[in-house]
């Protein structure tokens, strides 16, 4: 279990000798409790106490880095069971699997996709993280060759999947310096696999079915001196993965089983129903997910789900407040007000762009709140709207004084007219209906229709 600073303090020598680098034993205890100090730096602790403190003070789930360079990614360091409790930290790496029996050309084609395919979405670049090469041939030579083909294509993280230490050694000869993830140490081969992991400094997957077997094997590999472990509970069904991964996360966070304090691996190709398994792995605690090379049509939604789930729930993604021009508007074109919550903006923008109606969007600063929540909390009010109209010099842009409010802000319309002197139109609640609204209501409201000459102030 996790220890509080005072519990740790009781175990320390209380000499305040400063040899650990901290001014007092109490400071050292507080640093240990928050995982920011190492018990080894105290020269006066006996081995038993050090062992106890290490179990109690290390992060609940170890950080493991896979790959090197720009495309490398870190996993682990998760601290909650539900994203709403704080946030999930490191999005799972998703890797395309290729069997080593495929031709060099086929392997190269998948590797090129991993290298080049990228989907820009709301300001981020979504992509697959790397390649998992599987030793279906059983031959070290074929496996080594397949890894070489991948290495020739690009530098991105790899998972090496082989049960035979001889095959693994051949693959590591090709890419051992680039921190590939070794899959996997099992009850049969763990001695040799641990030796390979230590020699190459690469992280190692421990594979065993069931929590108890996994815990035991992880402890064995730890004792053999491998620090960067990843756990593969080898589920036979998707349901089994959900249940086992939940149990591992719970026990790791509660620190009841330090040997389970490592990130989790999921081979989504194994239990069948790969799309569901991939989706579940993203939601429920997988940190490395291996799939077949999925076509873009179904890959993009999975990557979008990962982006959603790993967005920090306490920090809404915000846009900079100001005037946004859509479809090259001219003075006299409609002006719509909305909030600076990025999802609201991108949703509305999508509909407006496809409608091809030129218009101005005024994004006011609701600190990333949606329209509904900004109205409910009072953040979106007539004063903010009046100040925003002035601050961004809106009238000079639009040449008219007609403002379209979102449907959910309808209760504000009277007060906005009074505070700003602008005419207010209430638009629909649903962004999908905005283009139709502009076609119909705006034309009626704006003298001369739209687009047209600006009405006088």
Partner 1 sequence: MAEPGEWTGTIGRVVLGATKGEGGTRSVQYCIGGSRDLPFLPDEAPCGRRPLIALEICDDPALWPAVVKEYIGALADDPAAWAREAERTFGADLVRLHLTSTHRRQAPDLDTVGKTVEAVLAATTLPLIIEGSGDPALDSEVFRRCGEAGAGERLLLGTAEADRYRSIAAAALAYGHAVIAQSPIDINLAKQMNILLREIGVPADRIVIDPYTGALGYGFEYSYSVMERIRYAALMGDTDLAMPVLSAAPDSLTVKEVRDAPPAERQERALSWEFHAAFPAAVAGADIVCVRHPLSVKRLRDACAALTPGGKGTPVQGGG
Residues that bind partner 1 (CB under 8 A): 81-84, 121-122, 237-239, 242-243, 246, 250, 253-254, 271-273, 275-277, 279-280, 283-284, 295-298, 300-302, 304-305, 307-309, 311, 313, 343, 346-347, 350, 354, 370, 372-373, 432-433
CB-nearer residue toward partner 1: 195 or 343: 343
Taking a C-beta distance cutoff of 8 angstroms, is the pair 290, 98 a contact?
no
- In the complex with partner 1, the residue whose CB is nearer, 229 or 245, is 245
d(CA 112, CA 331) in angstroms, rounded, equals 47
Give me the residues paired with residue 161 across strands. Answer: 134, 183
Residue nearer to partner 1 on the CB measure, 184 or 299: 299
Q: Provide, rounded to whole angstroms, the least separation between the CB of residue 343 and partner 1.
A: 5
CB of 445 to partner 1, least distance (A): 16
Complex with partner 1: residue 22 or 437, whichever CB lies closer: 437
How many Å apart are CA 332 and CA 450, to the nearest integer?
7
Least CB distance from residue 385 to partner 1, whole Å? 21
CB of 304 to partner 1, least distance (A): 4
- Pair of tokens at residue 376: 């409910």
C-alpha span between 417 and 401 (Å, rounded): 10
d(C-alpha 455, C-alpha 403), whole Å: 13
- Choose among 31, 35, 25: nearest CA to 57: 35
Nearest CB to partner 1, comparing residues 243 and 292: 243
- At residue 267, the 3 state secondary structure works out as strand
Is residue 210 a contact partner of residue 187, using CB atoms and an 8 Å limit?
Answer: no
**Tokens 């349901």 map to which residue?**
239
Contacts of 422 (CB under 8 A, 6+ apart): 389, 401, 402, 403, 416
Which ranges of 312-451 does DSSP label H, i.e. alpha helix?
342-355, 371-377, 382-391, 394-398, 413-420, 434-437, 443-445
Is the CB of 279 or the CB of 388 nearer to partner 1? 279
Nearest 5°: the CA angle 421, 425, 431 is: 135
Minimum separation from the CB atom of position 77 to partner 1 (A)? 18
C-beta of 195 vs 410, nearer to partner 1: 410
Task: Please check whether residue 425 is in contact with residue 441, taking contact to mean a CB–CB distance below 8 angstroms.
Answer: yes
CB of 318 to partner 1, least distance (A): 14
Smallest gap from Cβ 83 to partner 1, in A, equals 6
Nearest approach, Cβ of 330 to partner 1 (angstroms)?
25
Residue with smaller CB distance to partner 1, 82 or 105:
82
Q: What is the four-CA torsion angle of 420, 421, 423, 424, rounded to 10 degrees?
A: 30
């Amino acid at each position: 279990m996790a220890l509080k600073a005072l519990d740790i303090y009781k175990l320390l020598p209380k000499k305040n000798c400063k040899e650990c680098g901290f001014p007092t034993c109490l400071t050292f205890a507080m640093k240990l409790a928050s995982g920011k100090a190492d018990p080894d730096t105290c020269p006066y602790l006996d081995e038993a106490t050090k062992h106890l403190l290490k179990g109690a003070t290390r992060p609940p789930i170890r950080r493991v880095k896979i790959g090197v360079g720009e495309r490398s990614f870190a996993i682990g360091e998760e601290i909650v069971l539900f994203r709403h409790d704080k946030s999930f930290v490191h999005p799972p790496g998703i890797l395309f699997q290729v069997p080593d029996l495929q031709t060099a050309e086929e392997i190269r084609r998948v590797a090129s996709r991993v290298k080049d395919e990228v989907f820009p979405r709301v300001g981020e670049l979504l992509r697959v993280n790397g390649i998992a090469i599987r030793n279906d041939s059983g031959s070290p030579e074929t496996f080594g060759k397949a890894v070489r083909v991948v290495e020739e294509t690009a530098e991105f993280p790899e998972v090496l999947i082989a049960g035979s230490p001889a095959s693994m050694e051949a693959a590591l000869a090709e890419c051992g310096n680039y921190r590939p993830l070794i899959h996997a140490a099992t009850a049969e081969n763990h001695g040799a696999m641990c030796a390979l992991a230590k020699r190459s400094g690469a992280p190692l997957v421990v594979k065993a079915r069931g929590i108890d077997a996994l815990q035991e094997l992880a402890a064995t590999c730890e004792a053999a001196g491998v620090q960067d472990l990843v756990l593969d509970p080898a589920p036979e069904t998707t349901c089994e993965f959900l249940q086992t991964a939940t149990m591992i996360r719970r026990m790791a966070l509660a620190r009841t089983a330090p040997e389970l304090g490592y990130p989790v691996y999921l081979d989504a190709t194994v239990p069948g129903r790969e799309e569901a398994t991939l989706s579940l792995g993203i939601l429920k605690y997988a940190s490395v997910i291996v799939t077949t090379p999925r076509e873009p049509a179904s890959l993009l939604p999975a990557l979008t789900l990962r982006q959603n789930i790993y967005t920090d729930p306490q920090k809404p993604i915000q846009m900079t407040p100001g005037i946004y021009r859509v479809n090259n508007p001219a003075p006299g074109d409609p002006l719509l007000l909305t909030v600076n919550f990025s999802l609201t903006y991108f949703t509305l923008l999508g509909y407006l762009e496809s409608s091809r109606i030129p218009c101005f969007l005024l994004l006011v600063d609701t600190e990333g709140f949606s329209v509904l929540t900004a109205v409910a909390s009072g953040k979106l009010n007539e004063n903010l709207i009046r100040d925003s109209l002035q601050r961004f010099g809106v009238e000079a842009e639009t040449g008219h004084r007609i403002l379209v409010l979102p449907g959910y802000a309808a209760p504000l319309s009277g007060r906005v007219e009074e505070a700003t002197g602008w005419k207010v139109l209430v638009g629909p609640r649903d962004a999908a209906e905005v283009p139709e609204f502009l076609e119909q209501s705006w034309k009626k409201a704006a003298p001369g229709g739209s687009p047209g000459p600006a009405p006088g102030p």
